[in-house]
Every structure is written in structure tokens, then in C-alpha cells.
A and B are shown apart, each in its own frame.
Chain A
């Protein structure tokens, strides 16, 4: 069962400018986590944590062009990915396909500064959208 292979980690919220998103999350009781510039994805990233609500990763452009320009085209913000930690990402993806879902590999695994250099990969899942997998140690 897929729930045994992956675990929910956070929502990914793309914004043009993070100030209001930070204020909103702060009013909800979220606390500040790590904040970094990710040179490989060329975006700023900041984690927000909560004791009873799912974590949120806020992502905003550092420079133009940015890889999230397309996502923000015509809007100020958008929750655009769901992230899961996965000790065996290939098995998890195979399980999705065996379950009748179409999976497109969008970004090959690359180290993410926000997660201590752990590799992350992005995949488009039919009927769901973009998911990120953090490749955790087995």
C-alpha cells in the first residue's frame, strides 16, 4: 500500500513575494523554519511549521527568469505541489503506475538545501498534479 511507502511532508506554496504569506501563516500559529536560497532550483525557500497543521514550504523567485515564473503567470500565489518523504521513491512511483495512474518524471533527483542536501525529485501524477519526493535514507 502506497501509504506505507511515502509519508506526507508539506505543501509547496509559490508566491511572487513572501511577506503576506508569512503574515498569514504566522497568524495561523505557524513558526519559522529554515530559509535558504536554493541555487539548483534558483528560488528562495522557507519552511513554516505548525503543531497541528501540515507544514508549508513558501517558494519565491530570486531572479528572472525563475523556474516558477510559469506557475505564477497571471496570479500572485498558488499551492502547486504536495511533498512526501520516500525511502524508496522508485517503488512508490511504480506503485502509483500499478494503481492505474500516469506518472511523468519532471525533475531528476537533485540535492535540496532546505532538506540538508537530501535528493528531491518532482513528478506529475494524472488527476492530482505535481508531487515532490524527498529521497530519505532507507
Chain B
């Protein structure tokens, strides 16, 4: 799966989680860029990603993520293994 495809699927997820059809997932995007992206909605986002991409994250992995680009990289890494 390409990074572009991952980001497209992340776009669908963030639009659904944050109820905003104008959002577009880009690697640099962080919680500061989106209204309503608090710690609880961040966990909802991770759960939606787990379900969509059929991957599982540990608490430590979730804590390390800094932006959507790192999330996309982690998804790709998990799909390689």
C-alpha cells in the first residue's frame, strides 16, 4: 500500500472522527491543526485506524506518535511484518 493510499484512507477516518468533510490528511498534520482533536478523540482515531488497517498498536506506540505521517509510517511498518 502506498503512502498516498494510506493518507487517503486516513482522510476518510479523520473526516468521520472530527465530523469535518473539509479535512485532508497530510503527513505534517497534528492535533493542533484540527478543532476537537483532544486526547479522547485521538484514542478514537487510533481505534478507527486499527479497524480500517487491521493493525494493533501498543500503548507505548500510541504515545510516541507525533503526526499523521508517523502514523502512516507505523501502519506501513506493521503491514510489512
Q: Is the CB of A126 within 8 A of B47?
A: yes
Query: How many contacts A-B (CB < 8 Å)?
Result: 39
Instruction: Give the interface size bracket for B toward A.
Output: 10 to 19
Task: Determine whether the beta carbon of A70 is less than 8 Å from that of B39.
Answer: yes
Q: Which of A73, A107, A126, A130 is in CB contact (< 8 Å) with B59?
A: A107
Show the binding face of B for A, using Cβ within 8 Å.
31, 38-40, 42-44, 46-47, 50-51, 57-60, 62
Chain B binding surface SS class? helix
Scoring A73, A80, A126 by chain B CB atoms within 10 A of each residue's CB, the highest score goes to A73
The digit string for A91-116, where 1 denotes a CB below 8 A from any CB of B, is 00000000000101111100000000
Contact assessment for A106 and B59 in the assembled complex, using a CB-CB cutoff below 8 Å: yes
Having A105-B59, A108-B59, A130-B40, one finds 5 other A-B pairs with CB under 8 Å, namely A71-B39, A104-B43, A104-B46, A104-B50, A106-B59
A25 at the interface (CB under 8 A from B): no
